[in-house]
Amino acid sequence: MRAPSAEELAAIAAAYAIVSAARAAEVPAEPIVSRWALAARLRDDEADARTVATGGNRWARASRPAR
């Protein structure tokens, strides 16, 4: 495999700049909130303590719909 020439590298850099600028101009999609992030925000109260004591955990509860 040969090394690319200076002209080829310049063409690649120009194409990368065009694609990067086009992506930056797009409206960003809504961030995906993972269940791992939600688990860190659950309340710590007695009901949660009971759930943990009965075998549940924060990660499993984070994937369930809110009550």
What is the structure's pLDDT at 24? 76
The residue among 63, 20, 16 whose CA lies nearest residue 38 is: 63
* Domain parsing of the chain, residue ranges: 6-62
What HEC string does the chain produce? Answer: CCCCCHHHHHHHHHHHHHHHHHHHHCCCCCCCCCHHHHHCCCCCCHHHHHHHHCCCCHHHHHCCCCC
Per-residue pLDDT of 25-66, as tens digits, reads 776 667 766 666 666 665 655 555 555 555 556 667 677 776
What is the structure's pLDDT at 8? 95
Question: Mean pLDDT, the chain, as a whole number?
Answer: 74
The span from the CA of 41 to the CA of 37, in Å, is 7
